[in-house]
């Protein structure tokens, strides 16, 4: 039967938080198209996790169990999801846009002679189903429609749908045992990569001053450092600043950095790409300083200062110091 199937991600028996956001997208799509929404969790011994997903307002959760799915390999996961897609007859197969999904989901799609529409930030269903993706580092949204017949595959970007929009329900669990031969698995699984422990815990900070590429040069970082010191705030950064080694990686905020929710997040010279926004949009108050009035950061900012940070930040430092001394 035609349905929306959401393949959720778990690792080591723990949900990937983006799974719930992908499920929220699936539920919205299902509602708009009048299709039942089903979820699946893939691994070994995942029936307990599948039972957790049944508490959402969807029709069914598949526990896709096999000993060869205990450790992730693209070969085994591709085969399992291919078999499940055929079994369910799903017309839409959605995934969270995680590193793991990027590895195997395009392969699943090609098994059906289809493509994966990746990084989706919203879906429209008036007329043909249209997936929206961001281009040019979030400066432009583009519409994508998939031609031809067969299931449509898409991965959902972090932060694009709200997990807390999922209504409670009671779905049924359905066991699905794919047939997987050890001989199809061409990779050898090593111990998982472990990040070194973080010296800086931005998640606990109440005030954060975060700097982006607008700062232009490593030698200018001291300007925002001074502002952070004057405010008693932690210093954070967008990814390019950390990639360039201007600040340590542990100060990066975003989808591949830390997720923060301070009382005040001040974004200085940061454009507001979705990968950055997902790490800070839960902040209580967002202040953005940017010289481009069309920068996407202003869409989430509570207070916006359109101006040159090299003029605005020194003026702010002076005001903060004045306020402290008065
Ligand atoms: P830019 O996009 O270059 O923006 C600089 C901004 O500064 C512009 O808006 C400009 O108008 C403004 N500016 C320039 N000069 C001045 C001035 N004098 N005064 C005021 N404003 C000025 N990014 C993250 O931040 N965190 C992540 O975790 C992350 N993970 C990613 C994961 C993946 C898989 C990918 C593909 C990308 C990821 N990114 C991440 C990168 C992200 O897509 C953006 O490229 C990045 O966030 C842009 O950083 P930025 O805003 O500092 O730089």
Interval 188-201: pLDDT, tens: 888 776 655 556 77
Q: Among the atoms of ligand 1, which is closest to the Cα of residue 237?
A: 25
16 Cβ below 6 A of ligand 1: no
Any atom of ligand 1 within 6 Å of the Cβ of 310: yes
- For ligand 1, atom 28, which residue shows the shortest CA distance? 254
Convert the pLDDT of each residue in 125-135 to its tens digit: 988 999 999 88
Q: What are phi and psi of 37, to 5 degrees?
A: -110, 130
Mean pLDDT, rounded, for 9-22 = 92
**Helix, strand or coil, per DSSP, at residue 237:** strand
Is the CB–ligand 1 distance for residue 157 below 6 Å?
no
Please state, in angstroms and as integers, the Cα–Cα distance from residue 142 to each residue in 87, 120, 138, 255, following that order. 32, 10, 10, 21
Report the pLDDT value the prediction gives residue 201, as an integer from 0 to 100: 77
Residues 6+ apart with CB under 8 A from 186: 75
Question: Under a CB-based contact definition with an 8 Å cutoff, are residues 180 and 76 in contact?
Answer: yes
**Which has more pLDDT, 294 or 162?**
294
Q: What is the mean pLDDT of residues 15-38?
A: 95
User: In the predicted model, is pLDDT for residue 33 greater than 90?
Assistant: yes
Tell which wins on pLDDT, 205 or 30. 30
Ligand 1 contacts CB of residue 215 (under 6 A) = no
Looking up tokens 């490593």, which residue turns up?
A: 218
Residues 264 and 256: their CA atoms lie apart, in Å, by: 21
How large is the average pLDDT for residues 304-322? 97
Residue 312 has pLDDT above 90, yes or no: yes
- Chain segment 254-284, per-residue pLDDT in tens: 988 888 888 999 999 999 998 899 889 888 9
3 state SS of 205: coil
pTM beyond cutoff 0.85? no
Distance of alpha carbon 273 from alpha carbon 262, whole angstroms: 19
Percent of the chain with pLDDT over 90: 80
Contacts of 147 by beta carbon, 8 Å cutoff, 6+ apart:
none
DSSP reduced 3-state for 183: helix
For the record, the structure tokens of 270 come out as 């940061």
Counting ligand 1 atoms within 8 A of each CB, the residue from 18, 96, 270, 294 with the most, and so the one to mutate, is 270
Mean confidence (pLDDT) of the chain: 93
């Amino acid at each position: 039967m035609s349905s929306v199937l959401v393949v959720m991600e778990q690792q080591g028996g723990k949900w990937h938080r983006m799974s719930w956001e992908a499920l929220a997208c699936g539920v919205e799509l299902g509602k708009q198209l009048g299709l039942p929404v089903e979820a699946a969790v893939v691994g070994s011994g995942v029936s307990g996790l599948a039972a957790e997903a049944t508490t959402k307002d969807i029709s069914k959760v598949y526990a896709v169990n096999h000993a060869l799915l205990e450790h992730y390999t693209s070969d085994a996961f591709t085969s399992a999801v291919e078999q499940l897609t055929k079994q369910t007859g799903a017309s839409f197969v959605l995934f969270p846009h995680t590193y793991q999904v990027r590895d195997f989901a395009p392969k699943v799609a090609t098994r059906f002679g289809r493509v994966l529409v990746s990084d989706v930030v919203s879906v429209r269903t008036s007329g043909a189903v249209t997936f929206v993706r961001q281009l040019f580092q979030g400066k432009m949204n583009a519409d994508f429609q998939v031609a031809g017949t067969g299931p449509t595959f898409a991965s959902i970007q972090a932060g694009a749908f709200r997990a807390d929009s999922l209504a409670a329900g009671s779905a049924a669990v359905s066991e699905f045992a794919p047939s997987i031969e050890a001989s199809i698995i061409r990779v050898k699984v090593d111990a998982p990569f472990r990040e070194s422990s973080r010296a800086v815990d931005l998640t606990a900070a109440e005030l954060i001053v975060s700097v982006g590429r607008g700062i232009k040069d490593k030698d200018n970082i001291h300007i925002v450092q001074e502002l952070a010191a004057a405010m008693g705030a932690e210093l954070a950064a967008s990814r390019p600043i950390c990639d360039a080694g201007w600040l340590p990686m542990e100060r990066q905020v975003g989808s591949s950095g830390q997720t923060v929710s301070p009382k005040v997040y001040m974004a200085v010279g940061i454009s507001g790409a979705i990968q950055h926004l997902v790490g800070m949009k839960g902040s209580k108050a967002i202040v953005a300083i940017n010289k481009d009035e069309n920068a996407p950061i202003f869409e989430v900012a509570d207070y916006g200062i359109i101006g040159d940070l090299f003029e605005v930040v020194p003026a702010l430092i002076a005001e903060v110091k004045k306020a402290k001394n008065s």
